[in-house]
Amino acid sequence: MTKNSKKVTQTLYHYTTARGLIGILKQKKIWATHINYLNDKKEFIDAMDEFKKQIKHLRPNVPKPTVTVTPHRTHMENSPTEKYESVLEFLQIIHGEVYVTSFSEEHDQLSQWRGYCAKGPGFSIGFNLAKLKKLVKRIPNGWLKKCIYEPRVKARKMERIIKPAESVNLNGKVFLLSMINKMIRIAPYFKVSSQYDNVLFSHIRNVLF
């Protein structure tokens, strides 16, 4: 291994209590937790805040809705601002359907012990990364990705979602579905505090895209 080469993680570690370990061994399952009950309370919400910030930055002068008048009807096309607001409204709903399971790339990390095993004995359970990826592929609307903490990285990723939509003339429904689909795949991984997880599995329940 050269000095500049990065360490390749082959195992991810799930920190849990003695009760959690017994449950995993008995049921042979790891249950995903509702996002509202996590240590980092701003997960997902942080992504929506970044979304708003980038919209404001990329679109300082938003055009008004266009109105088309015909002999029989008047049709008003939604402005970009209204479309983005629709995306945020839908994400607020989706927020109640997000479940996650956390992993760490470190097998013995103090912040993980404190975050997940502070009230008693704790365990760090190792899982083969390649096998985890195969399992995740079998779960509809499930993703396994590294958490994102760095503000600049968050801004770049959000910009990559917004700018392509700005450059093409999409109708309201296509625009909405495209933006939401991209947002729900990344929002759970925007994290404020780096003291918790390195890798996160997220599952969006009852959402089909």
Domain ranges of the chain: 11-204
pLDDT 10s digit of each residue in the chain, 209 long?
Answer: 344 445 556 899 999 999 999 999 998 888 888 877 776 656 677 888 888 888 777 664 444 444 344 444 434 345 556 777 778 888 777 776 788 888 998 999 888 888 888 777 899 999 999 999 998 888 888 889 888 888 889 888 888 888 776 655 656 677 777 788 888 888 888 887 655 557 777 876 544 33
Query: Closest by alpha carbon to 88, among 33, 35, 122, 47?
Result: 47
